Structure formats: C-alpha cells, structure tokens
Amino acid sequence: MTDKKSGAHWSFWIIGILALIWNVLGMGNFLSQLDPETVSSMPESHRALIENRPLWGTIAFGLAVFGGALGCLLLLLRQRLAVPVLLLSFIGVIVQLIPSLIVMGSGVRFSTFEIILAFLMPVVVALFLIWYARLKLA
C-alpha cells in the first residue's frame, strides 16, 4: 500500500522514522558523553571508550550521528542529497570505531551485547541506510 501523495510505501515511512530515531538517540548519546559527570557514572568499558578516544574520534562520532540524522531527514523528505550525507555518516562510523577497537585490544572486557550494540550495529545500520536511500531515491 502506498501513500497517494508521495507514492511511498508505508514501509518507507516506518524505516525512515526508525532510522531517524536511531540517529537521534545517537545524538543524545554523543551529547551525554560531553558531560564528565555522566561519563563518570558509566560502566568501566564505556568510560574506557570515551576517555581514551582522541579528539578526531569524537569528531567522527559526531559526524556519524548528526550526519545520520540529517541523512534520514533528507531521506524522509525524498531528497537525493540523503545518499552522500549518509555516506559521510558511514565514514564517521568507521573512523570513530578505530580508537574503540584499540581500546578493545587493551584488555578492557566487553560483553557480547556491548560489542554488537557499539560496534556492529552502527556499521550495519549505516550501510543499510546508504543502500536503502540509493534504492528509494534513484
């Protein structure tokens, strides 16, 4: 079933809105990590990732989540600019993972859930969004 005005299937709106929510939650996570008091209350594994991340990793994290939110908004507005913005977001995801992988190799223990949520999900979601935007906006 498609929306008569936009010609988009209802699933387009569900995927676009869920992806936007994912990235807005990422923005909230990013902003909370700027507060030292909030960081000090986090589990050791989370603190290790944040405290050992260089400035360029923090900038990449910001690019990933703010770019992802903007890309999702552009997707929902059916703008082709969504594809390059989501691609920049994906680059941010990959770059911000580099210091995280170094911390992982330093002996800090991460649960399977933390590895999936913090490392795999952002990559999978970012790649999916690029593919989906290219498919829907081509």
Q: Mean pLDDT across the chain, nearest whole number?
A: 91
pLDDT at 118 exceeding the cut of 90: no
Task: Specify whether the CB–CB gap between 129 and 91 falls below 8 A.
Answer: no
Paired with 9 in beta bridges are 2
What are the two backbone dihedrals, phi and then psi, of residue 2, each rounded to the nearest 5 degrees? Answer: -115, 155
State residue 3's pLDDT score: 52
44-57: average pLDDT: 90
CA distance 13 to 4: 13
pLDDT at 58 exceeding the cut of 60: yes
- Evaluated on CA atoms 38, 44, 50, 51, the torsion sign reads positive
pTM, to two decimals: 0.89
